[in-house]
């Protein structure tokens, strides 16, 4: 709350307006920070502006030129601060008398009672029964820690960028995701066999035209029809097989990325822009699902077609092999030169998409702020700059493709001319084979070989460039810090799948009326088996806990020691930034402690797996806020009955939804709220 209030106030100050309407920005700040904000911001940076401040902090009225007091929707007072002090003097005397009476009563209540003695006894028992900690001795800030906190560095990390060719390990891992090396080799074999079947009708037609075999026209026609039918059936078969295998790889790659991001630590989301994560799940996964699959299928079909074409040409004209070998070598070096540039351009294209997606996410999330402060032109200019970078890289990629196309056409024309001259020479030279049907087929295939070589070079470079998406996904899968969930996500996915299939049976509920009974959590895995009679169940002990958000940052919790006995209600108070919310992160192990230890139910928090530890805690931030609002109005409203009815409705709604754990929490909240309201009313 305090951070958000300061950021909103800073935006308003930078907007430089003539009139400022401040809707209680001090409510989320402590006294010291609020006084500094009033002195340096409201009365300093905004001096000379018209400022209307709505607040319940009486101390802020000392800075005002005009004080307006509202009571029940009416103006009760209007004037200067000095006049307001005179007006409020009788009320202060009355409040002081009430506080004096309450202070005497409070002193009587705060005398030593059996409840206080039992609480101290429980605390001492918890601390004594806990196993000794290895590093729980509080010390001063060490020299190593001081050196670590000198350079904090930037919050957001730079996006990784690979250089050079894609490693073979990435290809092997992708083949394993497809089902293994054996499956990939089988797909390649199917492509070669089907290519032979697809070429056979053209070859048989060439033999038919010259009556190569002593067969009748009907026999030639039947054989040609059978080969054509087989060719028509095998073409979709190989595409279906390759797409099925690569679709399986896409699912495995996406599942690994999703599992990695789902298990990532809080530090990863603090240091990684959201646009980078979205870019992995949209652009990179989209390339893997669409472009990479199409490129691999086209590459396999083109290579198999190229081999069948070369084999036919060599069989009809042997001297063509002497022309093809130099051209293939030239194509190889051309491919190496082009692939190196295309690979780096593709990496740039993938990398520059992340800032544009980040801008889009920021605009969607803060569109009201952008409109309120008139920042739309600046945001549009920033988006245009990001789009210019993306289109510049795309323009470079298109230029490289055109450069390659010109050179491939030149080499292809050389091959066609050589084959045509060889066919003419074969007719006029007696020692060369001169079968007219096969020579015409060879010349026809030579016209096709230019497009085949063009396709092979282009698709090979495209495959290597698209493999950068695999490389980037594997990097985010393997090189980010993960929480120790121990297969909890897989178990939850399996449970959801069984529930969707209608095969889930539901976990049996155990009775909680008997304190001696054993309770089981109703989650998918048997994480907790708790004994109701255990006197440490529900206890929390902090022993000299130190915590920092990331290595190299200063400590946010330093030598924290306290203990909470089972059933005790504890309030954590402190100024803005003192570490109240950080305690919650430590409870749930969203950020690991770097010193000391935390005992939960008598066990070290590190001994729990993350899922089991978090199931010990119940988050009710919204419910607690609503409860405190009702408690604040206890002097004028019948808060006890109101809280009771509210808690009962929450429990009934939760039970209708089937949330047994929520019902139990709502019932406990009702009892706690009713008891607190009774105490409040007794105090009043």
Whether pLDDT at 260 is above 70: yes
Give yes or no for a contact between 354 and 159, defined as CB atoms under 8 angstroms apart: yes
Q: What is the pTM of this model?
A: 0.61
Query: What are the pLDDT digits (tens) for 454-507?
Result: 788 888 888 888 888 898 899 999 888 888 775 666 676 677 777 777 654 444
Scanning 317-435, the segments in alpha helix (DSSP H) are 320-365, 367-372, 376-428
Give yes or no for a contact between 615 and 523, defined as CB atoms under 8 angstroms apart: yes
Q: Which two tokens stand for residue 36?
A: 């500094």
Give yes or no for a contact between 249 and 178, defined as CB atoms under 8 angstroms apart: yes
Query: What are the pLDDT digits (tens) for 192-208?
Result: 888 888 888 877 877 77
Whole-number Å distance between alpha carbons of 362 and 369: 10
Whole-number Å distance between alpha carbons of 289 and 634: 60
Scanning 573-659, the segments in alpha helix (DSSP H) are 580-587, 610-614, 621-632, 639-656
Residue appearing with tokens 């490389």:
471
Give me the DSSP letters along 456-512. HHHHHHHHHHHHHHHHHHHHHHHSS-B---TTHHHHHHHHHHHHHHT----PPPPP-
Residue closest to 134 by CA, chosen among 622, 593, 639: 593
Query: What contacts 272, CB < 8 A, 6 or more positions away?
Result: 156, 157
Query: What are the pLDDT digits (tens) for 502-516?
Result: 654 444 443 333 333
Report the chain's mean pLDDT, rounded to a whole number: 72
Q: Which two tokens stand for residue 377?
A: 């032109």
Tally of CB atoms within 10 A around 496: 12
**DSSP character at residue 141:** P
Query: What are the pLDDT digits (tens) for 138-179?
Result: 333 344 434 433 444 456 777 777 777 788 889 899 999 998
Higher pLDDT, 39 or 207: 39
Whole-number Å distance between alpha carbons of 645 and 649: 6
Give yes or no for a contact between 545 and 263, defined as CB atoms under 8 angstroms apart: no
Residue 652: the pLDDT is 40
Whole-number Å distance between alpha carbons of 188 and 193: 9
Whole-number Å distance between alpha carbons of 362 and 440: 63
Residue 253: the pLDDT is 93
Whole-number Å distance between alpha carbons of 592 and 547: 7
541: helix, coil or strand?
strand
Q: Which two tokens stand for residue 145?
A: 């820690």
Beta pairing, strands 74-79 & 67-71: antiparallel
Give yes or no for a contact between 60 and 26, defined as CB atoms under 8 angstroms apart: yes
């Amino acid at each position: 709350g305090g951070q958000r209030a300061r950021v909103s106030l800073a935006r308003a100050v930078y907007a430089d307006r003539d009139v400022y309407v401040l809707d209680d920005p001090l409510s989320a700040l402590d006294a010291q920070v609020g006084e500094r904000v009033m002195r340096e911001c409201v009365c300093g940076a905004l001096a000379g502006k018209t400022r209307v401040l709505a607040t319940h902090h009486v101390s802020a009225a000392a800075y005002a030129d005009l004080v307006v007091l509202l009571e029940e929707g009416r103006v009760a007072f209007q004037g200067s601060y000095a006049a307001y002090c005179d007006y409020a003097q009788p009320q202060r005397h009355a409040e002081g008398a009430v506080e004096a009476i309450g202070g005497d009563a409070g002193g009587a209540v705060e005398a030593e009672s059996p409840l206080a003695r039992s609480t101290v006894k429980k605390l001492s028992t918890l601390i004594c029964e806990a196993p000794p900690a290895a590093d729980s001795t509080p010390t001063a800030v060490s020299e190593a820690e001081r050196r670590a906190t000198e350079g904090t560095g930037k919050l957001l990390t730079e996006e990784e960028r690979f250089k050079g060719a894609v490693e073979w390990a990435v290809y092997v891992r992708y083949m394993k995701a497809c089902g293994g090396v054996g499956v990939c080799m089988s797909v390649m074999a199917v492509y070669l066999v089907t290519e032979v079947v697809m070429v056979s009708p053209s070859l048989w037609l060439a033999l038919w035209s010259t009556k190569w075999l002593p067969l009748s026209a009907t026999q030639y026609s039947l054989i040609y029809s059978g080969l054509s039918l087989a060719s028509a059936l095998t073409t979709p078969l190989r595409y279906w097989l390759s797409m099925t295998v690569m679709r399986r790889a896409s699912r495995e790659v996406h599942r690994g990325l999703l599992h990695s991001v789902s298990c990532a630590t809080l530090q990863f989301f603090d240091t990684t822009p959201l646009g980078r994560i979205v870019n992995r799940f949209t652009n990179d996964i989209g390339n893997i699902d669409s472009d990479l699959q199409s490129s691999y299928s086209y590459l396999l079909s083109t290579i198999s077609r190229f081999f069948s074409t070369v084999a036919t040409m060599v069989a009809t004209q042997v001297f063509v092999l002497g022309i093809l070998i130099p051209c293939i070598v030239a194509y190889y070096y051309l491919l190496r030169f082009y692939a190196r540039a295309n690979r780096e351009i593709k990496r740039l294209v993938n990398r520059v998409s992340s800032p544009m997606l980040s801008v889009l996410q920021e605009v969607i999330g803060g569109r009201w702020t952008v409109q309120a402060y008139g920042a739309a032109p600046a945001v549009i200019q920033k988006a245009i700059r990001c789009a210019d970078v993306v289109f510049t890289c795309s323009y470079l990629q298109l230029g490289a493709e055109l450069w390659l196309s010109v050179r491939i056409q030149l080499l292809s024309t050389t091959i066609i001319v050589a084959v045509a001259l060889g066919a003419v020479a074969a007719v006029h030279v007696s020692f060369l084979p001169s079968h007219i049907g096969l020579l015409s087929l060879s010349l026809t295939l030579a016209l096709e070989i230019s497009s085949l070589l063009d396709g092979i070079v282009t698709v090979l470079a495209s495959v290597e460039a698209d493999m950068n998406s695999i490389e980037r996904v594997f990097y985010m899968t393997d090189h980010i810090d993960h929480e120790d969930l121990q297969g909890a996500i897989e178990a939850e996915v399996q449970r959801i799948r069984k529930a969707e299939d209608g095969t889930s049976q539901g976990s049996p509920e155990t009775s909680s009326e008997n304190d001696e009974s054993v309770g089981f959590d109703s989650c998918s895995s048997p994480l907790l088996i708790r004994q109701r009679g255990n006197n440490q169940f529900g206890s929390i002990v902090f022993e000299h806990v130190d915590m920092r958000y990331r290595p190299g940052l200063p400590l946010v919790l330093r030598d924290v020691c306290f203990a909470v006995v089972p059933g005790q209600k504890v309030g954590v108070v402190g100024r803005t930034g003192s570490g109240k919310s950080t305690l919650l992160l430590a409870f749930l192990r969203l950020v690991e402690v770097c010193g000391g230890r935390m005992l939960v139910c008598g066990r070290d928090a590190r001994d729990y797996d993350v899922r089991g530890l978090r199931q010990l805690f119940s988050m009710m931030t919204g419910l607690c806020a609503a409860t405190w609002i009702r408690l604040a109005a206890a002097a004028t409203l019948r808060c006890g009955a109101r809280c009771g009815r509210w808690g009962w409705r929450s429990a009934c709604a939760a039970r209708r939804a089937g949330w047994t754990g929520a019902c139990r929490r709502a019932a406990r909240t009702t009892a706690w709220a009713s008891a607190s309201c009774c105490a409040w009313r007794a105090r009043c």
